[in-house]
Amino acid sequence: MSLRSGYAQTIITPSLEKPVYLAGFGRDRRAESIHDELYVRALALADGPLTVVAIALDLLGLGRQHNQEIERRVNQEAPGTKLLIACTHTHHGPDTLGLWGPNDKTSGVDPAYLASLKEKIAETALVALDRMQPSLVKSAAVKVSGVAKNARDPKILDEELICLQFSHVFTKQPSATWFIYPCHPEVLWERNPHITSDYIYSLRAQVEATTDAPCLVMVGALGGMMTPNVIEHSFVEAKEMGEILAAAGLEALAEGQEEMAELSYQRKEFTIPLQNPLFKLAAEAGLLTADLSEADTVSTEANLLKLGRTWFFGVPGELLPALGLDYRRRMNEAGGSKAAIISLVNDELGYILPAESFVSPTNYMEPGDSYEESMSVGREAGPLLTQALEALLSKG
């Protein structure tokens, strides 16, 4: 068996003919212009009968039920294909979760846009699958310091950039590049009215200009808050951050060796108690769609993808770096020479914290230092995700 890969992308920028509510900061932040297009970027991977499509989506997040619907749509034409849909978490794209509308009683989701979005994602994945051909891959890991900071706990930093480059077996020419870095795409901050993928825009542009091949970017353990280390929150700073990451990754990849890597994949479904009263109220009001049971639990999943000795753990929310570092260590010890966290895979449950550092807010409406806790399903999310990783690793 040998690795095959294929790539496709589609623009998903919403039209500004009607209000577009930008997700990620305060409510009623309406888009005024488009700085750069938003995309769905799909990298199809196959090894023998196993087929997985890694999808980078320029959105803040997408609920699990929508991701499941997209996978079912793809499986109608490509049975058995697994999707890893990872939102880039840009804070300057349309609301697809429902929490950033004009007021606290009105969703910011445009149903017509959401329906079109899901169809575009499925179609893009199918095109990527159709374009697969024998491929080589090389990977690299490099520490990139100074571009991000941890606003919650400055002493805990995960600064590793994971990079992969795929090339055609026969031509040796790059066919796609994949970058993963743990930082919120929020250089432009809360007053920005322009649709943009933030620093990811310039990162991809620089890589593509250098390699003459498409680039997809995902985010690692960005919770806690791993945020851009900038002063003015300007497009100039966003451009500089993206170019720094692109240069570091390309330099690291230049030293890598191509290989015929074996592909493997596992998924673990589990449930988490919903302990956040704000999430419950939002779900009851119809603002937040979630797969809730009568017992107030949320169904979600964890994903483990292995490509040779480069391993990827896909988590269903915004993982704090303390857990990210722990999970990467566990994967290293289990055999992954390079270990990456991918946040916001097939779900968006908010922040996922270590139980020992979880301090429930006295007032969820004014959480103070417990902001991340106020935007989390609850204390059990971290321990249950850890158990899911342990179960996946134990299967070999």
Q: What pLDDT is stored for residue 264 in this prediction?
A: 97
Mean pLDDT of 306-329: 97
Instruction: Compute the average pLDDT of residues 64-75.
Output: 97
27, pLDDT greater than 80: yes
293 has pLDDT over 80:
no
Considering the domain architecture, whether residues 151 and 78 belong to the same structural domain is answered as no
Residues 74 and 182 in one domain: no
> pLDDT digit string (tens) for 181-199?
999 999 999 999 999 999 9
Exposure string of 247-272, with b = 16+ CB inside 10 Å and e = fewer, is: ebbbebbeeeeeeebebebeebebeb
User: Do 341 and 383 fall within a single domain?
Assistant: yes
**pLDDT score of 3 more than 80:** yes
Compute the residue count for the chain. 396
Q: 7: which strand partners?
A: 43
Q: Do residues 307 and 316 touch, judged by C-beta distance below 8 A?
A: no
Give tens-digit pLDDT for 121-175: 999 999 999 999 999 999 999 999 999 999 999 999 999 999 999 999 988 899 9
pLDDT at 296 (0 to 100): 86
Tell me if 320 sits within 8 A of 222, measured CB to CB: no
How much is the mean pLDDT over the chain?
A: 95
d(CA 149, CA 225): 8
pLDDT at 216: 98
Residue 259 falls inside a structural domain? no
Distance CA 199, CA 18 (A): 26
Q: Are residues 276 and 390 in the same domain?
A: yes
Around Cβ 16, how many Cβ atoms within 10 Å? 13
The sign of the CA dihedral 15, 16, 18, 19 is: positive
Over residues 72-82, the mean pLDDT reads: 98
Residues 77 and 8 in one domain: yes
CA 216 to chain centre: 11
Residue 377 lies in a domain: yes
> CA-to-CA distance for 253 and 177, rounded, in angstroms?
10
Q: Which has the closest alpha carbon to 357: 382, 377, 375?
A: 382
Which of 67, 101, 130 is the C-terminal boundary of a domain? Answer: 130
Same domain flag for 114 and 54 = yes
Query: Do 76 and 57 lie in a common domain?
Result: yes
pLDDT in tens, 354-392: 999 999 999 999 999 999 999 999 999 999 999 999 999
Q: How confident is the model at residue 224 (pLDDT cuts 50, 70, 90)?
A: confident
| 34 assigned to some structural domain | yes
Banded pLDDT at 342 (limits 50, 70, 90): very high
Amino acid identity, position 252: A
Do 276 and 193 share a structural domain?
no
d(CA 131, CA 145): 36
Within-domain flag for 303: yes
The reply to whether 110 falls in a domain is yes
Above 60 in pLDDT, residue 243? yes
* Spatial distance between the Cα atoms of 390 and 333, rounded to a whole number of angstroms: 12
pLDDT in the model for residue 336 = 95
Residue 292 has a pLDDT of 58
Domain-ending residue, one of 130, 146, 165:
130
Residues 246 and 300 both lie in one domain: no
Only one residue has tokens 């890589």, namely 207
Q: Which of these, 241, 141, 231, 107, lies nearest to 184 by C-alpha position?
A: 241
Distances (CA, A) of 18 to 15, 94, 99, 191: 7, 12, 18, 20
Phi, psi of 341 (to 5 degrees): -100, 135
Domain of 286, in residue numbers: 264-394
96: CATH: 3.30.230
Among 113, 130, 147, give the residue marking a domain's end.
Answer: 130
Residues 331, 247 share a domain = no
User: Within this chain, do residues 103 and 158 fall inside the same structural domain, yes or no?
Assistant: no
Q: How much is the pLDDT for 285?
A: 73
Q: What is the pLDDT of residue 281?
A: 84
Q: Which residue's structure tokens are 């109608």?
A: 76
In a domain, 58, yes or no: yes
- Determine, yes or no, domain membership for 331: yes
Whether 383 is covered by a domain: the verdict is yes
pLDDT band at 289 (very low <50, low <70, confident <90, very high): low
Mean pLDDT of 306-321: 97
pTM beyond cutoff 0.85: yes
If one counts the domains in the chain, the total is: 3
Mean pLDDT across the stretch 32-49? 98
Q: What is the band of 338 on the pLDDT scale with cuts at 50, 70, 90?
A: very high
**Helix/strand/coil percentages in the chain, nearest 5:** 30, 30, 40
Distance CA 315, CA 344 (A): 6
Confidence of residue 291 (pLDDT cuts 50, 70, 90): low
Residue with tokens 């891959």: 137
> Mean pLDDT over residues 52-73, rounded?
97
240 and 315 both lie in a single domain: no
**Mean pLDDT of the region 93-99:** 96
Query: Which single residue is written with the structure tokens 């916001």?
Result: 344
